[in-house]
């Protein structure tokens, strides 16, 4: 039974709701994946120290801006979970991270080298307008130096936060772009205007400010590690589901 405010919900009500919302399969998958992780961690002799658990809990609290014990307890109550549930969840997340490191840490550099192009980045500016004729006119004005890309983006971009930043789209990995668009962007020259490019919502003009070489940073390491681990976990799950 779970208490929600002044109401109590029975477990069979929760299960019935999950079935009606077609969410049982996904939940079962997550439970089995957790069992796979626990079994593999035990097999590899991975043990969590209390200091490791506390450090992970503090990290998660900081990410969620729960800076005090009072804030944390209030959040736990709002989420309908106990401090013991919270600690168990922290341990499960940390155990998965430790297992991923144990299984695939040594494979990350080789994977990065083999897929280095995917981790190249661009500093990208872009803006979208609703109609193709306007996009074509702005493309002409920019290429003929009648206006700048930044001015056009600041005046016309449909995306308000980006418009206020004069079209700044951030630093983007090659892997985050659809293949055809990635080829076009990475085949361009800095300050070259690309487009109009049709999307479902409208027409975009794009411009690369700079190209950045691929680097095996901590964030890239974590992403590759997680990808390798998830692929392994999917294989293990598939094996168990089809095992005779």
Predicted TM-score (pTM) of this structure: 0.84
| Prior bond of 196 cis (ω within 30°) | yes
Mean pLDDT of 208-221: 96
pLDDT at 242 (0 to 100): 80
**Between these two residues, 79 and 143, which has the higher pLDDT value?**
143
Best CATH choice for the domain 121-212 from the list 1.10.3720.10, 3.10.50.40, 3.40.50.300, 3.90.1150.10: 3.10.50.40
pLDDT at 177 (0 to 100): 95
Task: Tell me: pLDDT of 244 over 70.
Answer: no
Average pLDDT over the chain, rounded to whole? Answer: 93
For residue 161, which phi and psi values (nearest 5 degrees)? Answer: -60, -40
138 and 126 Cβ atoms separated by less than 8 Å: no
Q: pLDDT (tens digit, 9 = 90+) per residue, 228-240?
A: 999 999 999 998 8
Mean pLDDT of 182-193: 95
Task: Tell me: pLDDT of 227 over 80.
Answer: yes
pLDDT-derived band of residue 1, with 50, 70 and 90 as boundaries? low
Task: Tell me: pLDDT of 6 over 80.
Answer: no
Considering Cα of 64, then 68, then 69, then 71, what sign does the dihedral take?
A: negative
For the chain, give every domain's residue range: 35-110+222-242, 121-212
Residue positions counted in the chain: 244
Q: pLDDT (tens digit, 9 = 90+) per residue, 56-76?
A: 999 999 999 988 889 999 998
Task: Tell me: pLDDT of 3 over 80.
Answer: no
Nearest to 171 by CA among 139, 211, 137, 229: 211
| CA separation for the pair 62, 82 (Å, rounded) | 19
Residue with tokens 């493309």: 139
Mean pLDDT of 203-215: 97
Mean pLDDT of 24-37: 92
Task: Tell me: pLDDT of 169 over 90.
Answer: yes
């Amino acid at each position: 039974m779970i208490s929600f405010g002044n109401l109590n919900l029975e477990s069979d009500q929760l299960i019935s709701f999950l079935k009606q919302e077609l969410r049982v399969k996904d939940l079962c998958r997550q439970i089995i994946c957790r069992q796979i992780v626990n079994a593999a961690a035990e097999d590899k002799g991975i043990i969590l120290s209390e200091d490791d658990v506390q450090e992970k809990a503090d990290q998660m609290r900081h990410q969620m801006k729960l800076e005090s014990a009072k804030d944390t307890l209030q959040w736990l109550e709002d989420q309908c979970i106990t401090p013991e549930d919270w600690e168990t969840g922290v341990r499960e997340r940390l155990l998965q991270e430790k297992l991923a490191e144990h299984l695939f840490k040594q494979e990350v550099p080789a994977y990065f080298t083999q897929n280095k192009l995917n981790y190249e980045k661009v500093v990208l500016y872009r803006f979208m307008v609703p109609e193709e004729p306007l996009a074509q006119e702005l493309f002409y004005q920019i290429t003929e130096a009648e206006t700048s890309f930044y001015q056009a983006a600041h005046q016309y971009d449909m995306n308000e936060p980006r418009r206020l930043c004069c079209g700044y789209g951030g630093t983007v990995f090659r892997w985050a772009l659809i293949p055809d668009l990635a080829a076009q962007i990475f085949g361009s020259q800095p300050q070259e205007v690309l487009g109009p490019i049709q999307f479902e919502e409208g027409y975009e003009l794009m411009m690369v400010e700079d190209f950045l070489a691929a680097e095996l940073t901590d964030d890239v390491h974590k992403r590759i590690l997680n990808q390798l681990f998830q692929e392994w976990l999917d294989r293990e799950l598939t094996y168990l589901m089809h095992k005779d």
